[in-house]
Amino acid sequence: MPKNNTVIHKSFSKKDLLKVIQEFDITIGVDESYTKSTVANTLWGILTKLDFLYIPPDNNYLVKDLIGLRCLLKHPNPRKPFSVKDRDRYTMVAKKINHYCENNFDIKESVYTNIKQVYNDADEISKYGDIPIIRKTLRKLMYDPQKLYTIKPHISPHIQHDMKMKQMLCKKSKFYKCEVKTGSFIITFD
């Protein structure tokens, strides 16, 4: 549901909207000092009047055109798919499974009574693979010697894009610069 009679979905914060404005280089005339509703109304007003907007091909929102940007803003923010309360609940379930994994996959040392409960909880949280602890926990669970079946976390395209960018930034060049100089050199030792 839109908030304050704006078309932009309420899950977008003022900070999110300002990031969108910066990402797509939209001249809007508002900044952090304005309220969220003012930023949202002004942004939507400009987006509805525009016929064309340059969309960078490698943008963080995976938007391809102006219509896609409008659609993105009308629907819930894909980077905030659930509330803080839900996130805490999923994180707690992941911690329980992680406790089982850290205790050498011994069901007696965990809060669970049988292996089926572990995998039922893992199935439930696998839908929320955007949360890092869930991805890490499910990866650990796959080393279980009593593994019933394989569970893979579902990761949204936006988070996959962010993860690829982080991997690219962490890659180090394997080629070292080596300068070879020829000629005569004088080496002195003190």
User: Can you give the pLDDT of all 190 residues of the chain as single tens digits?
Assistant: 344 456 888 888 888 888 888 888 888 888 888 888 888 888 888 888 888 888 888 887 888 888 888 888 888 887 777 778 888 999 999 999 999 999 999 999 899 999 999 999 999 999 988 889 999 999 999 999 989 999 999 988 878 888 888 888 887 666 667 677 778 888 888 7
Residue 49: inside a domain: yes
Number of domains in the chain: 2
What residues contact 134, with CB distance under 8 A and at least 6 apart?
90, 91, 94, 125, 126, 128, 153
The helix/strand count (H/E) of the chain reads as: 7, 0
Residue 161, domain extent:
84-170
Residue 34: inside a domain: yes
Residue 179: inside a domain: no
Residue 3: inside a domain: no
Residue 189: inside a domain: no
Same domain membership, residue 166 and residue 105: yes
Whole-Å CA distances, 43 to 8, 69, 139, 142, 187: 9, 11, 41, 46, 68
Assess contact for 97 and 141: CB atoms under 8 A.
yes
Q: pTM of the prediction?
A: 0.62
Q: Taking phi first (over 0 means left), then psi (-120 to 50 degrees means alpha), and beta for anything else, what does residue 54 get?
A: beta
